[in-house]
Structure 1
Amino acid sequence: MYSDIAHRKRALRAELRERRQNLTSSERDFATAGFTENLQSLVLDLSARSISCYLSARNEPDTRPFLNWATAEGIRILFPISREDGLLDWTVGDGDEEFTGISGVPEAVGTLLGPIAINDVDLIIVPAAAVDESGLRMGWGRGYFDKTLGSMEKCPPVYAMVFDSEYLDEVPREVHDQPVNGLITPTRIIAF
């Protein structure tokens, strides 16, 4: 059973990676504008003054225009920093500096705040490979966000960012997989 689910996840991730790589620059620009507008709307609707958000990698939904807006609005932003033990530390970041972390994705540079810093935010924005109609999030297989979300006693709303085609009827589920409260695509915000 476990190997069947793991195999289905690997196959689905490969398909989704290929779709993302095949997006045209105009499709990416359209998506970025939609993501930015919908993230701004969500933050304003929730009156969030402190959020956590990831720095997007090349083929991920682009978070940078939104992060620039949030910074200009005075919203405190915590960025994840991956650790060898599979957990996440957090930083508020220092300017525009970033590096490639052990997870292979961009990470902010700044003073490490430790894993519990996430407990003080009003909204958590996470990357995802796909989200299904029940709110189950499938990540990229490293488990950083599943471990973080699964360990929180009092979790604020968690929204995953996916392209419209990555909102699926169902994704393969393993015991450790954590659901999200909603998702953001370029064309909509869905709360579960």
Structure 2
Amino acid sequence: MSANVTPEKNEVRISVTDRRRRRSESERVQAAQAIALHAPAVAALVRARRVAAYLSMPSEPGTGPLLDWLTELGTEIVVPVSDSDRTLDWVAYAPGEVVVGDLGVPEPTGPRLGESALHACEVAIIPALAVDHGGNRLGRGAGYYDRALVDFPGVTCALVYDDELRAELPHEPHDRPVDLVLSPGGLFRPTRGLV
């Protein structure tokens, strides 16, 4: 990849964001349910005692059914809260205890556990606008997850719609690739994936 791929990344971000806005509510609901149905194919997720996940925004592949499944398994779940210094703090997930944060992102209302709570998780389920076959993840551009996952020892799994899994995406050295991808179509293991 070239040294400055930001314009290329922004073009993909605009395209994906526009397409997400045009998805019907029915398509979003079906996608969220399908992702949850495919989750048991992720062995690391089934075994995990503690998982980091996130509360999806309306245009994203929904995490509600996936969080319900993890809760039924008895898995402890932590979800992020965005801080003004562009870092993520973590809060224990409890259904229904959610507000819309300063960035317009759904956030939990419980006590903060600190940035280190992520490192006690075996799996991190993370948002993405797109992921390529090598595991390169394109986020929204603020770098919250790239910074949070720098030393994360567990398995990372991005959630995308089927058409957001691409052969190749622009990426930079600081971008943290993912190990797995869950989409409505199933589980994808990037060529660099270890799980």
TM normalised by structure 1 equals: 0.91
- Contact preservation (8 Å) 2:52, 2:78: yes
- Contact preservation (8 Å) 2:44, 2:155: no
Distance 1:45 1:146 in 2: 21
Q: How big is the shift at 1:94?
A: 4.2
Q: How big is the shift at 1:181?
A: 0.4
Q: How big is the shift at 1:58?
A: 0.5
- Contact preservation (8 Å) 2:45, 2:123: no
Counterpart for residue 96 of structure 2: 96
Counterpart for residue 115 of structure 1: 115
SS in structure 2 opposite 1:90?
A: strand
Q: How big is the shift at 1:101?
A: 2.1
Q: How does 1:120-159 map to 2 (within 5 A)?
A: 120-150=120-150, 152=151, 154-159=152-157
Identity of aligned pairs, percent?
Answer: 34
Q: What is the CA deviation profile of residues 57-81 of structure 1, one whole-angstrom value per residue up to 9, with x for unaligned ones?
A: 0000100111122222211001011
Q: How does 1:1-192 map to 2 (within 5 A)?
A: 5-42=5-42, 46-150=46-150, 152=151, 154-191=152-189, 192=193
SS in structure 2 opposite 1:56?
A: coil
Distance 1:31 1:105 in 2: 20
Q: How big is the shift at 1:7?
A: 1.3
SS in structure 1 opposite 2:149?
A: helix
Distance 2:84 2:45 in 1: 36
Change (3 A) 1:149 1:158: same
Structure 1 counterpart of 2:186, one-letter code: R
Structure 2 residue runs of 5 or longer lacking an equivalent are none
Q: What is the CA deviation profile of residues 80-130 of structure 1, one whole-angstrom value per residue up to 9, with x for unaligned ones?
A: 111111111101034412122233211111110110111111111000011
Distance 1:68 1:11 in 2: 34
Indicate the RMSD between aligned Cα atoms, in angstroms: 1.7
SS in structure 1 opposite 2:148?
A: helix
- Contact preservation (8 Å) 1:183, 1:189: yes
Distance 2:127 2:69 in 1: 19
